[in-house]
């Protein structure tokens, strides 16, 4: 039996995922979490085999939580389940150690396939995302998203800043100094061609890092 932890800050989405997982043979949901920090506690306490992880959540978020789970619990597999349908996040998260990446419109069949492949040691990426990654890589003259220039850490910090966190708060969550956060922030500004947090948020919306409904 594959023990699964479901992580998402929206209760209804967690309920939906748990409902889909009930129809997947050999899978049982052992716990749920609403943040990256809570996910780390659940992994330590409930010892799941697999984590279904959202990206954008309060606190450290899914990127940092994935990195810490993979680093400290090598036996646990992480599949990202997200509404972000672009080619920037998958490569960053796969580099962070995620074993799979599916969108929130995945059906039971796709979730079952992803779990089967990941638990067998393979990597699974939703076909629509995989196609997008390949197509963007095969168009040498095409303008790519500036977000692709950001490192994993820069992408994470940009996401947190556009969620309303101040530099000191980000530093506390990530356990690094405010000075280091500010250094990252100004590199992000430079790479994205913005001059302040407002412009950063507008760029984040334009390039799909932020859902516009989340900042209205």
Give tens-digit pLDDT for 66-108.
999 999 999 999 999 987 655 566 767 777 788 888 888 888 9
List of long-range contacts for 101-104, beta carbons under 8 Å, 24+ apart:
101/125, 101/126, 101/129, 102/126, 102/129, 103/128, 103/129, 104/13
Please tell me the predicted confidence (pLDDT) of residue 212.
56
pTM of the model: 0.69
Domain ranges of the chain: 2-136, 146-214
Instruction: Dig out the tokens for 130 from the structure.
Output: 């995989």
Compute the distance between CA of residue 143 and CA of residue 207 in angstroms, rounded to an integer. Answer: 12
Let me know: does 5 contact 42? Beta carbons within 8 Å: yes
Please report the pLDDT score of residue 156 as a whole number. Answer: 79
- For 146-214, CATH gives 1.10.10.10
What is the per-residue pLDDT for 213? 55
Q: What pLDDT is stored for residue 216 in this prediction?
A: 46
Q: For residue 39, give the nearest of 121, 86, 98, 124 by alpha carbon.
A: 98
Burial class (CB in 10 A: 0-12, 13-18, 19+), 47: middle
Ranges of the chain with pLDDT below 50: 135, 137-143, 216
pLDDT of residue 210: 63
Predicted pLDDT at 89: 66
- Residue 128 vs residues 86, 116, 131, 132: alpha-carbon distances, Å: 9, 19, 5, 6
- Write the CATH number of the domain with boundaries 2-136: 3.40.50.2300
User: CA–CA separation, 131 vs 176, rounded Å?
Assistant: 36
């Amino acid at each position: 039996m594959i023990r699964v932890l479901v992580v998402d800050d929206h209760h209804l989405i967690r309920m939906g995922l748990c409902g889909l997982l009930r129809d997947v043979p050999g899978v049982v949901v052992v716990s749920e979490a609403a943040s990256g920090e809570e996910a780390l506690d659940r992994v330590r306490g409930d010892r799941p085999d697999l984590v279904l992880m959202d990206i954008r959540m309060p606190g450290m978020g899914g990127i940092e939580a994935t990195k810490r789970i993979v680093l400290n619990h090598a036996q646990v597999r992480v599949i990202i389940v997200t509404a972000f349908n672009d080619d920037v996040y998958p490569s960053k998260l796969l580099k962070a150690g995620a074993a799979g990446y599916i969108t929130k419109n995945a059906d039971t069949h796709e979730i079952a396939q992803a779990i089967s492949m990941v638990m067998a040691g393979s990597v699974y990426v939703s076909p629509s995302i995989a196609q997008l990654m390949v197509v963007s890589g095969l168009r040498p003259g095409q303008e790519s998203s500036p977000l692709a220039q950001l490192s994993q850490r820069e992408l994470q910090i940009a996401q947190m800043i556009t969620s309303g966190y101040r530099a000191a708060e980000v530093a506390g969550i990530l356990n690094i100094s405010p000075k280091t956060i500010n250094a990252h922030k100004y590199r992000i500004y430079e790479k994205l061609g913005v001059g302040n947090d407002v412009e950063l948020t507008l760029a984040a919306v334009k390039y799909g890092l932020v859902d516009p409904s989340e900042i209205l």
